[in-house]
C-alpha cells in the first residue's frame, strides 16, 4: 500500500494536473497553486490517503469549506465515485510511483 506523501512537490503537482487543475468539488479550473490535496481519513483516524479513493483535489475555497462544515467522509468520497475513469487511472498511476 502506498502512503501519500503530501510533502512531495512533484507528486502533488502531478495529482493536480491529473484532474486538469480542476477542483473536484465545484468544478472550477484554477492555477495549480490554488489547488490543495485533501486526504480523506479512514475509520475516523487521521492519516494520509493510500490511494485515489482516499484523496480529493480541491480549490482553496472548497477545501476550507469542507473543513469548516465538517463534511462526513462518506460524502467526501462521493466526489471520487463520479471521478472520470481516466482521472482515476492517472491518479492511481501517480500514487503507485515511489515518492521522493
Residue 54 pLDDT level (bands cut at 50, 70, 90) = confident
Distance CA 80, CA 78 (A): 5
Residue 2 lies in a domain: no
Residue 91 lies in a domain: yes
pLDDT 10s digits, 5-53: 555 788 889 999 999 999 999 999 999 999 999 988 765 444 444 566 6
Residue 75 lies in a domain: yes
Q: What's the distance, Cα to Cα, between the start and end of the chain in Å?
A: 16
Domain that holds residue 52: 9-95
Q: Domain of 68: which CATH number?
A: 3.40.1800
Element containing residue 37 per DSSP (H, E): strand 35-39
Overall number of domains in the chain: 1
Amino acid at each position: 500500500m502506498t502512503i501519500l506523501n503530501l510533502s512531495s512537490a512533484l507528486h502533488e503537482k502531478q495529482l493536480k494536473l491529473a484532474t486538469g487543475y480542476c477542483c473536484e468539488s465545484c468544478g472550477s479550473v484554477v492555477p495549480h497553486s490554488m489547488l490543495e490535496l485533501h486526504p480523506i481519513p479512514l475509520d475516523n483516524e487521521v492519516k494520509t490517503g493510500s490511494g485515489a479513493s482516499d484523496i480529493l483535489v480541491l480549490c482553496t475555497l472548497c477545501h476550507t469549506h469542507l473543513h469548516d462544515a465538517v463534511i462526513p467522509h462518506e460524502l467526501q468520497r462521493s466526489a471520487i465515485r463520479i471521478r472520470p475513469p481516466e482521472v482515476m487511472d492517472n491518479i492511481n498511476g501517480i500514487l503507485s510511483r515511489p515518492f521522493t
